[in-house]
Structure 1
Amino acid sequence: MIGGHDQLELAPWIKRFPGEQGTSTIVFPHAGGAAAAYRSFASALSDRGVDTFVVQYPQRGERLAHPAAETVADLAADMLGALDWAQLGPLRLFGHCMGALVGFEFTRLAAQRGVTVRELWASASQAPSTVEGSRPVPTSDRELLADIVDLGGTDARLLEDEDFLELLLPAVRADYQAFNRYSCGRDIRVDADIHVLGGQADHRVDQDLLRQWEIHTDAAFTFTMFDGGHFYLDDHLDEVAELVSCT
């Protein structure tokens, strides 16, 4: 049972979906993504007994007025400092796209602070050591909008709403700038298991970029592909939730 976990004092920007399973799961959204976008996935995990927490990055939702993080590592430190995660025992992390990099840095920082991360699920994300050599992602309004359309995953009708874009673009820009500043050597490894997931038709993150996650763990590594593109998760919520909850 959850027991003392019910007494946790959560920041208003950490959304909890209670479950009874021993290993708590933290979900890290993609670049520009809000916690609300992962409500269905978190509910699917919770339905399988997984105590699930979805975090919110600055510049959106309840954190609209919070200053943007300069780096991915800063984002990870922000998430780690938001709660005494050690109370929950060993953790499981799930991150989509940039969220997997935030999870990776969270894992590194957690080890220094006595917080155990047992597993990192890296979804539709290139391996940490491949980012620095990649083409920078765009940061101007016009290029950002084109990139969002190219990736999919956002309702096209919303992208025609000026008020929505006024909220969305600063959040995406903040995350993209943090992504562009990210670097990680091939020798950087964590003790957590790394499980990589991806979409067969993802034209942004190919299988080679996904498979290179293996060099970043001293523990187990698995690799699973699904039909679909960069946001394959939207079409495979139950399958992925079942896979994550069974480990």
Structure 2
Amino acid sequence: MSSLPPDTLWIRRFHPAPAAGERLVCFPHAGGSASFFLPVSTALSPGVEVLAVQYPGRQDRRAEPGIPSVPDLADRIAQALTGWDDKPLTFFGHSMGAAVAFEVARRMEAEGRGPVRLFASGRNAPSRPRDENVHLRDDAGLIAELRNLNGTDSSLLEDEELLAMILPATRSDYTAIETYRCAEETQVACPVTVLVGDDDPKTTLDDARAWKLHTTGPFDMRIFNGGHFYLSRRSAEVLAVLSEHVGMAGTAHRA
């Protein structure tokens, strides 16, 4: 048996599941943290071991500067996942996390250790960037954006002390995703499943469907009722989609 790397600043494992045959790696949205995926870990354990990525600049990493570049983030995360890939990995990324997961998948595939599937949630295809400049707004403008997306607890947005802690990391994340560019011919080999809300102000169904251009493997898309953070209100439905796939690769791996 190979020995696992210790839990690190980058990778969080809320429910260790040594008997699980597969791992689901979750990548947060801009301004998000690993703890956003605690309910997913709770729901899927112990059948699937869930790992959540913790970007720098938030929670226990708030003293670290953020990394305002998707490629640089992906480089660091791909390295941090070394040793966790002794079992099949499935990636799930929401919003910015979908682009980061895509770039991590590219890097790991180049090393022969790529994921068995990528779930890309609430994000345009990599070659369809949004023409946005939230990262250039003042603090009030950034807070207004967070309110509009309904993905941040409103009580946090009223607490000046907490805002002072979360805004630098959030701005760094928005810089990363709003300056990210990807050519249409850039692809991964793994299957891609896209999840999107039917009323998402950030991602049209056409822009979500364009993820099909970025895989040489199978592609499918699931549409949910809701906005950009549809997955918070449709968690049971999202978990059902995940459960259609996670666990299957682990069974094949053990066979």
**TM-score over 0.5 (shorter chain):** yes
- CA deviation map 1:58-89 (0-9, x unaligned): 11122212232131011111111113246433
The answer as to whether partners of 1:13 and 1:56 remain within 8 angstroms in 2 is yes
Look up the match of 1:217: 215
Paired residues for 1:93-104 under 5 Å: 93-104=91-102
Query: Which residue of structure 2 lines up, in the alignment, with residue 32 of structure 1?
Result: 31
Q: What is the CA distance between 1:10 and its match in structure 2?
A: 1.7
Aligned to 2:248: none
1:64 and 2:58 are equivalent in the alignment: no
Which AA in structure 2 matches 1:125?
R
Question: 1:129 is aligned with what amino acid?
Answer: S
Query: Which of the residues 106, 131, 134 maps onto 1:134?
Result: 131
Identity %: 39
Q: Partners of 2:31 and 2:145 in 1: how far apart?
A: 12
Deviation by residue 1:107-131 (Cα, 9 ceiling, x = unmatched): 1111122322111000111110001
Contact 1:23 1:88 in 2 (8 A): no
2:53 partner amino acid: V
Q: Distance in 2 between the 1:224 and 1:83 partners? A: 28
Using structure 1 for the length normalisation, give the TM-score: 0.91
The aligned amino acid for 1:185 is: A
Structure 1 counterpart of 2:164, one-letter code: E
CA contact (8 A) 1:44 1:238 kept: no
- Of 7-16 and 172-181, the range deviating more from structure 2: 7-16
- Note the 1:69-148 alignment, pairs <5 A: 69-85=67-83, 87-131=85-129, 134-139=131-136, 140-148=138-146
Structure 1 unaligned spans of 5+: none
Residue 167 of structure 1 corresponds to 165
Return the letter of the residue paired with 1:219: G
Distance in 2 of aligned mates of 1:113 and 1:176: 29
Q: Is the 8 A contact 1:188 1:216 kept in 2?
A: yes
Distance in 1 separating the partners of 2:196 and 2:190: 19
SS at match of 1:128: coil
**Which runs of no fewer than 5 residues in structure 2 stay unpaired?**
246-255
Task: Report how many aligned residue pairs link the two structures.
Answer: 242
Distance across 2 between alignment mates of 1:157 and 1:86:
36
* Distance in 2 separating the partners of 1:4 and 1:244: 27
Letter aligned with residue 220 of structure 2:
T
- Whether the 8 Å CA contact 1:86–1:116 is kept in 2: the answer is no
